[in-house]
């Protein structure tokens, strides 16, 4: 090798010196990286201890179990909301009341017509006629806002109030 370096005109002492400097620089770099790695490992161990000496791995496992339970509860709540919405379609959610005096000799507006409708305006009208001696209750069926039986003026007014009853359906849909 001395022959090749001599032919090129390079002194072998210079190459040895350059290689020695490179070796020292690499040794310093290795020591520096080992120190950084030690500090990082200490920080990692401290981080993994978590709060109050618990392992973060155990903490993550516990949190994931909580998330699973919350997801199951959310599914149950979604099913309950669907059931409530289905039942809401069938219940009487709109009403209208009209109080009146059925007879001239009875005051105080003790008689009333009560219309109870679902969201499709189907339901019934109860008409309670109060006299001095008796109280009579009559029921009439309502289908889609119409009656097949003739309605009194008070029943028509109660039905009109029920049909125009605002149940806040827009607000319900927005919250669901």
* pLDDT computed for residue 75 by the predictor: 94
- Helix H, strand E, coil C: the string for 133-168 is CCEEEEEEEEECCEECCCCCHHHHHHHHHHHCCCCC
pLDDT at residue number 175: 41
Report the pLDDT value the prediction gives residue 85, as an integer from 0 to 100.
Answer: 85
Tell how strand 111-117 and strand 135-143 pair up.
Answer: unpaired
Model-wide pTM > 0.75: no
- The most confident of 48-52, 107-111, 122-126, by mean pLDDT: 122-126
- What percent of the chain clears pLDDT 90, i.e. is strictly above it? 35
Residue 126: per-residue pLDDT: 92
Q: Can you give the pLDDT at residue 167?
A: 64
For residue range 14-64, list pLDDT tens digits in order: 888 999 999 999 999 999 999 999 999 988 877 777 666 567 777 788 899
Across 86-109, average pLDDT: 81
């Amino acid at each position: 090798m001395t022959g090749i370096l001599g032919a090129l005109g390079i002194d072998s002492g210079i190459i040895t010196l350059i290689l020695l400097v490179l070796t020292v620089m690499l040794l310093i770099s290795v020591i520096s990286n080992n120190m950084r790695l030690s500090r990082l490992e200490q920080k990692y161990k401290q981080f993994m201890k978590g709060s109050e000496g618990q392992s973060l791995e155990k903490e993550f496992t516990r949190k994931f179990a909580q998330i699973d339970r919350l997801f199951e509860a959310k599914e149950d709540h979604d099913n309950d909301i669907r059931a409530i919405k289905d039942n809401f379609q069938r219940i009487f959610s709109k009403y209208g009341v009209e109080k009146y005096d059925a007879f001239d000799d009875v005051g105080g507006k003790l008689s009333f017509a009560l219309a109870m409708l679902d969201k499709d305006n189907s339901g019934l009208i109860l008409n309670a006629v109060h006299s001095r001696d008796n109280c009579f209750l009559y029921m009439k069926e309502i289908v889609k806002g119409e009656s097949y039986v003739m309605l009194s003026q008070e029943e028509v007014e109660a039905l009109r109030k029920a049909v125009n009853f605002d149940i806040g359906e827009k607000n319900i849909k927005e919250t669901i």
